[in-house]
Structure 1
Amino acid sequence: MGFLDKILGKKEALIQSNADFWNWFLKHEKEFFKIVKDRQNIHQDFFEKLAPKLDEIHSGIYFLTGMLDDNTVELILTPDGAIRNIYAIEELVNAAPKIEGWKITALKPASDIKDIGIDYEGFQFNKDNLRFYPNIHEGYPDEIDLTVIYDDFVEEKRQAIVNGVYIFLDNYLGELHSVTLIDNMKINGSNAISEELIPIEKLKDYLIWREKEFVEKYEGTRHNTENDSYANFEGKKQDGSIVLALINTTLIQWDKKASHPWIFIVTIPFDDCDNGGLPDEKTYKLLDSIEEEIIQILPDSDGYLNIGRETADNKREIFFACKDFRKPTKVADDLIKEYDGVFEISYEIYKDKYWQTFRHFESR
């Protein structure tokens, strides 16, 4: 150990893998256990040490902790509702060694509704003041669109109430179901409601029934894009810049869109090439190679359909519809690392069972 290391203390190595994280955690777990059990200086001596290490693994990993019983600390790792971070948490927890006195949990688990009472910004949320009804859309039969009614709703405090309801549902349904099973949700008061209201404790059974129905309807549904037709679209914006798109027109007309409900959009901005918002030849080839790389990793046979791409305003957007959300988010994170310093790649992933994102291509 060098002279400065002796004075300042040896700097801990950067966490670069899940194994690195758990090796670090094992060195401190007895200290952390005592801190949580004694409930002393938890924020300073545990949270402030754990948070930066989790951030080195993957940004956006949050956590909750407490005593599960007298001899067990539960550490819950949560994406706080961000779908893009779920895979990283699940992989991290799956890699955890067995640690005596600890229960490591991925995502907030479901709880018995009788035990849930949320107090958030002066509002209480429980099974007695929350009800719901489904909104049925004839043209979108697979859509799970809910209105949740909160008895003490105040319009001026809408955002606080919305947050409180989401926290309640995370605890009741479990975080994974809360963020993945419900397609759309509105929260209102009971004034002028004519629909029959359903007790909130029946929501879990309703969602399980709808999901089972959905899975059975589309089980085994695949689409081979090998013989699909594609069309080029070209347009101009008001500022004169050009918009180019290449779209799989066979897919856009497919009648089983809901079987691939996750929309995954990779955005790759590029330098202004003084070409009306379009790339130069060298950049164009590199963008195409990245797109091909993604398609190879996410093949249609595994449930990842490449709908096409759009190039305009100095960026390329690549469109996919997917059966699941975990692998695409992992692939995107890997791409961001691979092309760091070349492109500032970003991405979106969200549920859109009827691909309304691409509706404007259907009418062309």
Structure 2
Amino acid sequence: MHTTSKFWEWFKDNNKAYTFLNFVDEEAKEKLLNDFLEQLHKYCDKIYFEIGGYPDEDQELIITAEGDKDYFHQVEELVNAAPKIDGWTFIAFKPPMPDNFKSKWDDLELNTEDMWFLPLSNDKTQDLGIRVCFNNQDLIKGNKTLTPLLYKMLDTIAGEKSFALDIHYIDTDLLPDYPNEEGMYPILELPNYIEWHKSQATKSST
């Protein structure tokens, strides 16, 4: 097993090739990505990466455990050990996505513009749950792909670490006619609500 320093030594020697990923042919790109994953898995074979960026801007390297809390420590340890390399930004965990998006799984497509959530709090534990509501009854009744697609989207909306650690319960329901009057929020407000909920929990425990 490689140490963090072994991985970063390799990346220091090879990072230039990854700056031009979008300018090489598919075969060369695939080889570069496979080489990267091989080196990363010498450190920990349960973590993964996303890499990219725009020309003339810093390239981003995101190290992710794909939501598996058992390997969050390895992600943080690796990113915390990252050296400063010109033209690169290193990020632990997939960050939240602030903009609306659509996501599809088999024949099911969800759009964040049509999704709202109702906070569900547990007074005893202060754990946060959410009820995600849709305006289509057929989405909720017996659709086997709803749960995996919803979890994938919530991971994207809240960010990998927050989704794994801050949300303890999720269910679904039909969207009421006036969701804001029912105490609901548009789904993209979830990260802000999580931060607010955590600040309230901190206040009540001090």
TM-score w.r.t. structure 2 length? 0.82
Root-mean-square deviation (Å): 2.7
**For the structure 1 residues 28 and 119, does the alpha-carbon distance in structure 2 shift closer, same or farther, using more than 3 Å as the test?**
same
Counterpart position of 1:112? 98
Aligned residues between the structures: 200
More helix by share: 2
Residues 61-80 of structure 1 mapped to structure 2, 5 A cutoff = 61-80=47-66
Q: Which residue of 2 aligns with 1:225?
A: none
- Of structures 1 and 2, the one scoring higher in RCO (CA 8 A, sep 6+) is 2
1:147 aligns with 2:134: no
1:133 corresponding residue in structure 2: 118
Task: Mark the runs of 5 or more structure 2 residues left unpaired by the alignment.
Answer: none
The code of the aligned residue for 1:123 comes to L
Distance verdict in 2 for CA 1:200–1:64, change over 3 Å: same
- Distance, in Å, in 1 between the alignment partners of 2:96 and 2:30 is 29
What is the Cα deviation at residue 62 of structure 1?
A: 1.2
Contact 1:135 1:146 in 2 (8 A): yes
Alignment of 1:1-364 (within 5 A): 16-38=2-24, 40-41=26-27, 44-114=30-100, 116-137=101-122, 140=124, 142-152=126-136, 153-158=139-144, 160-190=145-175, 196=182, 197-219=184-206
User: C-alpha deviations, 1:323-363, integer Å up to 9, x for none?
Assistant: xxxxxxxxxxxxxxxxxxxxxxxxxxxxxxxxxxxxxxxxx
**CA distance in 1: counterparts of 2:76 and 2:127, whole angstroms:** 27
Provide, for residues 174-199 of structure 1, a one-character-per-residue CA deviation record: whole Å limited to 9, x for no partner.
Answer: 212111111111234449xx992432
Q: CA deviation at 1:85?
A: 1.0
Instruction: Report Cα offsets for 1:17-58 as digits up to 9, x if no partner.
Output: 100001111222122222344463366312211122212212
Q: Which runs of 5+ in 1 are unaligned?
A: 1-14, 220-364
- 1:39 and 1:106 mapped to 2: Cα distance? 28
Highest CA radius of gyration, 1 or 2? 1
Q: Deviations over 1:140-162 (max 9, x none)?
A: 3612121112334154433x222
Moved over 6 A (4+): none
Output the CA distance in 1 between the equivalents of 2:202 and 2:122: 19
Distance 1:100 1:186 in 2: 44
Q: Structure 1 residues 182 and 24, CA, compared in 2 at 3 Å: closer, same or farther?
A: same
Secondary structure class of the residue paired with 1:113 = coil
